[in-house]
Amino acid sequence: MAVSDDLLKAPWLQSLDVRLIAVGVPCGSFAQEGTPRTEMSIRYGGQFIPVSRPAFGAWWQLLRPRTSPEILEWIDKQKLGNGAELLNELHSAGLLLNWTGDAIADMPTLAPLRLIPLGIGMGASPDDPENCTIHFGFVGKKVTIDPVSYTVWAASDGKTQLGEACRRGASALSIHTDEVWSTFHDVLPTLTSGGMALLDR
């Protein structure tokens, strides 16, 4: 899709190649004093942040990192309204972060966040020790990741910063922290988009 000059000046647009990723914990719509029912809530850093339903829909899609043109095209197809305004709403609330795809470049942004693990960890089977599975409840949905990333996921308790969880994983596996971080960084979108983890501060 065409990108306007005004869009290129948007605060959330680092570049057309840099992807956006959603942070926070979805809380849906519930009665909250002063908050109209037309709004949804996302908890981030201990605060409940009200967002419009269209913005909530865009936020949900960004649990898997997408470039700005990709998410704007999705918003347009879903007829949710002005995509730039929705992303401005999420960015101003602190619910969007830039994802460069480079583990070192993303470290200052992601390492201080807390990973909230979801699902049921099943680990590896004797027949397939190189792959570990995480199931979401008992509905049959699952993701498969490598043992290093699984160790970080398992070391996360919702209170520990992601960087510290990687250090713990490195200590348990007797490998360098940078190797763990790089490996887990590549897998993180699979976990968030698969419903097996959320990012909070």
Residues 26-45: tens digit of each pLDDT: 988 765 566 556 689 999 98
Distance CA 21, CA 115 (A): 14
Question: Tens digits of per-residue pLDDT, 147-195?
Answer: 999 999 999 989 999 999 999 999 999 999 999 999 999 999 999 988 8
Give the per-residue pLDDT at 127. 87
User: Is residue 13 pLDDT above 70, yes or no?
Assistant: no
pLDDT level of residue 62 (50, 70, 90 thresholds): very high
Percent of the chain surpassing pLDDT 90: 62
Give the per-residue pLDDT at 37. 61
Question: Contact 40/52 with Cβ under 8 angstroms?
Answer: yes
Distance CA 86, CA 91 (A): 9
Give the per-residue pLDDT at 55. 94
Choose the CATH number for 5-99 among 3.40.50, 3.15.10, 3.90.930, 3.40.30: 3.90.930
Token pair, residue 135, equals 């199931």
Mean pLDDT calculated for residue range 45-60: 92
Question: Tens digits of per-residue pLDDT, 93-114?
Answer: 999 999 989 999 999 999 999 9
Q: Helices 177-193 & 147-155, crossing angle to 10 degrees?
A: 80
Compute the C-alpha angle 39/62/10, nearest 5°.
Answer: 85
Domain spans of the chain, in order of start: 5-99, 109-200
Give the per-residue pLDDT at 1. 47
φ/ψ (deg, to 5) at 118? -125, 165
Question: Which has the higher per-residue pLDDT, 115 or 29?
Answer: 115
User: Is residue 10 pLDDT above 90, yes or no?
Assistant: no
User: Is residue 70 pLDDT above 70, yes or no?
Assistant: yes
Which pTM does this prediction carry?
Answer: 0.83
Q: 38-47 — which CB contacts under 8 Å span 24+ positions?
A: 42/93, 42/95, 43/200, 44/93, 44/94, 44/95, 44/200, 44/201, 45/94, 45/200, 45/201
